[in-house]
Amino acid sequence: MNVYEKSDIAIVPKKAANKEGFPSAERLEGRAVLKWNVQQPAAVRTQSRVAASIRLLAVRRAAQSNKNLKFTALMHHIDVQLLQECYYKLKRNAAPGIDGLSWASYGEKLDERLILLHKEIHQGSYRARPARRVHIPKADGSQRPLSILCIEDKIVQQAVVEVLQAIYETDFMGFSYGFRPGRGQHDALDALQAALYRKQVNWILDADIRKFLEPSS
């Protein structure tokens, strides 16, 4: 399951310098598939998340140092350990999808579920399930459609985000706040407030395209 594919650049775990605050890469060598469950100690789960971050740190550094670099083989980064990390990043109180599995119920057999999911992904047999459609009432009396995914599909989506984010996060401008790690709407509002007080502002444009996401989602 840990076979690495060829790429324009070899992205492999390397020993990190002590000043970077990460454990050395010797821990990553010869690793076996680990057993995880919902009751796993938090310290152990944290070690796994750090290990997964180290592997993607090499991808980020490569993308940062060479903007023209083409990554042609990234699937090997989606392993059982990364899937486990993504599972713990999900909201634990989120509504279940069409399979009826909540975050906690999926975690009751987390080991075997993630191993099977990893196998399906790399064999090309993984298929996302249909989303459960619900409608949320809005203040104006209309309804906002909402698609609720299954836990497993959320895990796969998050894993893809983690890999692509390591590459493309370095390309975003400093004034971009939407859907970025460590940033949110409150950070954008703080930056806007600072700009309004410190710079000359003649006009503000507030644009909202009506039902923009509904036809595309």
Q: DSSP characters for 108-124?
A: TTHHHHHHHHHHHHHHT
pLDDT digit string, tens, across residues 187-208: 999 998 998 889 888 888 888 7
Report how far residue 74's alpha carbon sits from residue 165's, in angstroms, rounded to the nearest whole number: 12
pLDDT value, residue 137: 92
pLDDT digit string, tens, across residues 58-73: 889 999 899 888 888 8
Q: Where are the beta strands (DSSP E) in the chain?
A: 132-137, 143-148
Residues in the chain: 217
3-class DSSP state of 20? helix
3-class DSSP state of 133? strand
Q: What is the full per-residue pLDDT of the chain (217 aa) written as tens digits?
A: 333 333 333 343 333 333 333 333 333 333 333 343 444 445 445 555 556 678 888 889 999 899 888 888 899 999 999 999 999 999 999 999 999 999 999 999 999 999 999 999 999 999 999 999 999 998 888 888 899 999 999 999 999 999 999 999 888 888 888 888 888 889 999 998 998 889 888 888 888 777 776 666 5
Report how far residue 84's alpha carbon sits from residue 106's, in angstroms, rounded to the nearest whole number: 12
| pTM for this predicted structure | 0.68
Report how far residue 164's alpha carbon sits from residue 75's, in angstroms, rounded to the nearest whole number: 11
